Amino acid sequence: MPTALITGATQGLGRALAEALAVRGWDLVVTARDDSHVARTVAGLRGHGHDVVGLAGDIADAVHRDELADLAIELAGPRGLDLLVHNASTLGPLPLRPLRDLTTDDLAAVLAVNVLGPHGLTRSLLPSLVAAAGTVLAISSDAGVEHYETWGAYGASKAALDHLTSTLAAELPTLRAYAVDPGDMRTAMHQAAFPGEDISDRPLPEEVAVPGILALLESRPASGRYRAADLVAAAGSEVAS
């Protein structure tokens, strides 16, 4: 069975992707901050009949990353880890605020979760990923390429994560390294960014983002940055032809 490690796997896109992979026969390592959420997620995913292990903790914590890497390496075995998904993320202090009101400590906390954590975890898992000729998938955002008021910290972190992902691809061409913009989604995180607003018009993660990612994993195109909506459209065009 292929094996994946997914961070931020107990809600939103992370949970939807974990469920989609479990249904398709993947073994999984899942993590998020809340222990009870991790336990419920593991129990639910095991219902699909595959090996699922979970570990609660903060991806910004080096000790947690080391323990998580050890779990993934053990589960994957000598054939290696097939997929590492960097989904755990933070918006930063809420409500979102302009850069003039963002302290250096605020920015450092966002970078610790959104950039430094993924970098450290990737480094720890590189031998296992290389053994499997695996895939590193970083969940990106249009805020990483566009400039929205009050989104400076989050946008800068996603731009940095995109850059690290593309550089990894250049350095290790036997791997696939993707940054995927899932688009706006109806998630708790998106709602937190727009308090009091009705976001019911946004699609659920399983409606666009997950199908796009699954199409990417199946086709394994060249490493790079992709939009989930474009991946879904391309997959639909191939089916139609």
Note the pLDDT tens digit of each residue in 57-82: 999 999 999 999 999 999 999 999 99
pLDDT in tens, 11-36: 999 999 999 999 999 999 999 999 99
Q: How confident is the model at residue 241 (pLDDT cuts 50, 70, 90)?
A: very low
Q: Do residues 73 and 81 make contact, with C-beta atoms less than 8 angstroms apart? A: yes
Residue 207, helix vs strand vs coil: coil
> Where would I find the H helices in the chain?
12-23, 35-46, 62-76, 104-111, 117-131, 152-171, 188-193, 209-219, 228-240
Residue 28: both structure tokens together: 């999984």
Residue carrying structure tokens 């450092």? 108
**Would you state the CATH architecture of domain 3-240?**
3-Layer(aba) Sandwich (3.40)
Amino acid 237: pLDDT: 63
What is the percentage of the chain residues whose pLDDT exceeds 90?
Answer: 83
Residue 96: both structure tokens together: 């979102």
CA atoms of 179 and 163, how far apart (whole Å): 9
Q: How confident is the model at residue 151 (pLDDT cuts 50, 70, 90)?
A: very high
> What are the sequence ranges of the domains in the chain?
3-240
Give pTM, 2 decimals.
0.95
Q: In this structure, how many other beta carbons lie within 10 angstroms of the beta carbon of residue 103? A: 10
pLDDT in tens, 161-215: 999 999 999 999 999 999 999 988 887 787 777 788 887 888 888 899 999 999 9
State yes or no: pLDDT of 143 exceeds 50: yes
pLDDT in tens, 101-124: 999 999 999 999 999 999 999 999
